[in-house]
């Protein structure tokens, strides 16, 4: 069997690390990309404790030349690239009236432009694969809902889906599918840092009365990246415990 190769951007922590570990457990060759060497090494060590291997690559997704080189290094070292998980993202909070142009630009550069640059860098390798897969980590915030303080984040996540649909059309001829997972309230380091009161409010908004886990998102990504999902492209899969369903929170 041909060992599939997976590259996960923003793979050193949170949802990205959960995705990477899921693929590693399933026997894939997995590389993770991140900005912090410290976080990358910590992720590699966490994987090793579970008997898993993650190949780590330090890279700034806003630097297209560096990103292209990183993707090429992974593909050359491991004889190809089959699956790209565009997961890298930032979500600093700022009220619209106080948000600066720089804050807006920073979020778009990582979340939206970073997705575009990652796919473009991976494209020559995905075209050579038996079947190529691109799975984008978007969000319910922006495409479906809004949240105060995240106007820039919401815009970037909606932008990812516009990109996804056109990319799916353009890449279908190479048997490459492009889909997105839209997480709701997921327990990660970022959410934990917002405090217990915030986490309790997030749980209350979910009909299943729990926060999602990184494993919940990883399972959805794994499905969309599978051979069995080969007739699904340009689509979104919401993983939110029913969060968007109620007409009101009362």
**SS3 of 179, please?**
strand
Contact (Cβ atoms closer than 8 angstroms) between residue 161 and residue 209:
no
Beta bridge partners of 186: 212
- Distant-in-sequence, close-in-space partners of 222: CB < 8 Å, separation ≥ 6: 19, 22, 23, 26
Assess contact for 81 and 71: CB atoms under 8 A: yes
Task: Give the DSSP per-residue string, 1-56.
Answer: -PPPEEEEET-SSHHHHHHHHHHHHTT-EEEEEES-HHHHHHHHHHHHHTT---EE
State the DSSP code for 86: E
Q: Which residue in 7, 8, 193, 190 sits closest to 88, CA to CA? A: 8
Task: Please state, in angstroms and rounded to a whole number, the distance separating the CA atoms of residues 155 and 158.
Answer: 5
Is 57 part of the annotated catalytic residue set? no
190: number of CA atoms within 13 Å, CB side? 14
- Tell me which of 57, 131, 147, 153 is the catalytic residue: 153
Task: Please give the Cα distance from 83 to 60 (Å, whole number).
Answer: 20
Q: Tell me the β-bridge partners of 21.
A: none
Would you name the residues annotated as active-site residues?
153
């Amino acid at each position: 069997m041909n060992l599939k190769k997976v590259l996960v951007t923003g793979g050193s922590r949170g949802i990205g690390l959960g995705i990477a570990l899921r693929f590693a457990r399933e026997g894939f060759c997995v590389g993770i990309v991140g900005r912090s060497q410290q976080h990358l090494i910590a992720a590699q060590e966490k994987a090793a404790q579970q008997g898993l291997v993650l190949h780590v690559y330090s890279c700034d997704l806003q630097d297209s030349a560096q990103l292209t080189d990183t993707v090429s290094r992974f593909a050359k070292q491991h004889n190809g690239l089959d699956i790209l998980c565009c997961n890298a993202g930032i979500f600093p909070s700022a009220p619209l009236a106080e948000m600066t142009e720089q804050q807006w630009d920073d979020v778009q550069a990582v979340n939206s432009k970073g997705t575009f640059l990652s796919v473009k860098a991976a494209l020559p390798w995905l075209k050579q694969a038996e079947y190529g897969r691109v799975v984008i980590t978007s969000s319910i915030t922006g495409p479906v809902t809004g949240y105060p303080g995240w106007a820039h984040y919401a815009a970037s996540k909606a932008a990812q889906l516009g990109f996804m649909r056109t990319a799916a059309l353009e890449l279908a001829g190479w048997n490459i599918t492009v889909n997105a997972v839209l997480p709701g309230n997921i327990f990660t380091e970022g959410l934990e840092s917002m405090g217990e009161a915030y986490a309790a409010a997030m749980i209350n908004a979910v009909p299943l009365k729990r926060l999602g886990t990184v494993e919940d998102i990883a399972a959805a990504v794994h499905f969309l990246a599978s051979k069995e999902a080969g007739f699904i492209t340009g689509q979104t899969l919401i993983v939110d415990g029913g969060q968007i369903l109620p007409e009101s929170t009362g």
